[in-house]
Structure 1
Amino acid sequence: MIIFKKVADIQNYISIQKEKGKSVGFVPTMGALHEGHISLIEFGKTQSDFLICSIFVNPTQFNDKNDFEKYPITIDADIELLEKNHCDVLFLPSVAEMYPDGMELKTHYDLGNIENLLEGAFRPGHFQGVCQVVERLLRIVLPDKLFMGQKDYQQVMVLKKMIQLQNLDTELIMLPIKRSQAGLALSSRNARLNQENLDHALTIIRVLEKIKSNISKNTFETLKKDAEDTLLNNGFEKIDYIELAQQEDLQSLPIWIKDTPSIILIAAWIEGVRLIDNILID
């Protein structure tokens, strides 16, 4: 695996590869890598001639300073994991390399209502920061395909919109959520939980599956209230949202509509750690 820390160096390398007719796959990450990231890399390698992974903890997408400061940094372990799984290139830039002109937003992305829903309502400015850094990365790497996971479903929708707005020639491919054997959605933030709370965290997928199984037999409000009670009785301190929405645009659905592709999304706090998850209803 080749590691680049400078924009000019990785751009020169990519230019040479593209002159040879090679296609580029890209997996952007904030590090603290786990099997979810590796599943993206493994699939990306089957779809591209060479695969680039980036590790950059982006300050502009954290509306909570404490969350930024607590984000796990495991660079040595990350590099070892990438090498073990045959990643071709790692881009490991500094903040100064990514934001040579400062971190102030230079572009306001007209994302529409999707940036104000769900995550956007609880993390103001988050998606503007995400779009800023991902656009910067895409313009550096110039990938043919960008691979992301379904766990961050709203982020995927937002970035598809940004790619369209900025006329970037990259195809975004979303892959299913990678889960632990027990069913917990893999997340870098899971590393901050002790074993007892990791066990309690499994309640999220259990309530999602229960809502999905019963959505045609009960009202969503009834199922939502039951899910909230179940979470709060199993170690969760706070629930930001449990929502039923359309897959297409994440518009809220007060009731389930047969034959409308839907999604149930949850964000909840346990041991001071905010977890998100979702399940599709097709």
Structure 2
Amino acid sequence: MILFKQVEPLQQALDKFRQEGRSIGFVPTMGALHQGHLSLLEAARKENETVICSIFVNPTQFNDPSDFEKYPITLEKDIELLIQSNTNLLFLPYVSEIYPNGTGNLPNYSIGFLETILEGKYRPGHFQGVCQVMHRLLEIVKADNLYMGQKDYQQCMVVKRLLELTRIPTRLHTCPTLRETDGLAMSSRNTRLLPAQRAQAVTISQVLKEICVTLQPGLTSLLLQAAEQKLEKAGFKVDYVALANADNLDLLDHWDGQQPVVALAAAYLDEVRLIDNMLIQSGK
């Protein structure tokens, strides 16, 4: 694996691979890698001759400065995992490489209602930061294929919109969420949970699974209220439990029994914010 910290030498290496006719698969991360990230790299490796991973904790997508400061950094372990997974290139940029003119006057992206609901509502400015860093990374790497995890469902929809806005020809692949044996969605933030909190955390996946199993055509409010109450009883401070159209993320207070649906939740255990979602197939 070759490690790059600057844009120009990375692009020279990528250009050489392109001249050789090698397709490029890209997995952007913020580090603290786990099996979920490795599954994205595996998907990229199956479909591309060259696989590049980036590790960059993007300051512009953290609306809470303390969350940015506490984001887990495990670089030595990350590099070891990337070598073991046969990743070809690692991009480990300085902030000045991603934002050469600073972070003060970055572009604003027209991503519509996606930044006003769910994660957008509770983390104002977050998705603008996601667009800012992803636009820059996509322009640098010029990948054929981009791999992201379904756990960040709304973020994947935002990046899909970004690709439409910028007309960057990279193809987005949204890969299934990987889970621990008890059902908890794998996340870098899980490393911040104390043992007792780790035992509590699985309640998020449990309530989402219950929604998937019990959802019937009609009003959804009572089902969502019950899920929220179960999370609160388990010690969570709930931001949201919601049902949305899986294709466009329109929030649903009524299900017709046919629409493809995604159940989503976000909640805090002390200072650690966890998110998860599960797809519910149409015609259930």
TM-score (norm 2): 0.97
- 1:100 CA displacement: 1.1
Distance (whole Å) between structure 2 residues aligned to residue 245 and residue 97 of structure 1: 37
Distance (whole Å) between structure 1 residues aligned to residue 105 and residue 177 of structure 2: 31
**Contact 1:25 1:52 (8 Å CA) reproduced:** yes
- 1:271 CA displacement: 2.4
Quote the residue 1:194 is aligned against. Answer: 194
**Contact 1:105 1:132 (8 Å CA) reproduced:** no
1:97 aligned onto 2:97: yes
**Contact 2:31 2:73 (8 Å CA) reproduced:** yes
Deviation by residue 1:223-247 (Cα, 9 ceiling, x = unmatched): 11211121111121x1000111101
**Contact 2:178 2:185 (8 Å CA) reproduced:** yes
Structure 1 residue runs of 4+, over 4 Å off? Answer: none
Quote the residue 1:147 is aligned against. Answer: 147
**Contact 2:6 2:93 (8 Å CA) reproduced:** yes
Quote the residue 2:248 is aligned against. Answer: 249
Secondary structure in structure 2 of the residue aligned to 1:139: helix
Deviation by residue 1:194-232 (Cα, 9 ceiling, x = unmatched): 121111110011111111111117842111121112111
1:129 aligned onto 2:129: yes
Report the number of matched residues. 281
Deviation by residue 1:236-272 (Cα, 9 ceiling, x = unmatched): 1x10001111011111110122110011100000121
Quote the residue 1:65 is aligned against. Answer: 65
RMSD value over aligned CA atoms?
1.0
Distance (whole Å) between structure 1 residues aligned to residue 82 and residue 214 of structure 2: 41
Quote the residue 1:270 is aligned against. Answer: 269
Matched AA of 2:51:
L
Distance (whole Å) between structure 2 residues aligned to residue 200 and residue 80 of structure 1: 30
Matched AA of 1:251:
D
User: Any gaps of 5 or more consecutive residues in structure 1?
Assistant: none
Distance (whole Å) between structure 1 residues aligned to residue 217 and residue 158 of structure 2: 32
**Contact 2:218 2:254 (8 Å CA) reproduced:** no
TM-score (norm 1): 0.98
Which deviates more, 259-268 or 212-221?
212-221
Distance (whole Å) between structure 2 residues aligned to residue 18 and residue 98 of structure 1: 22
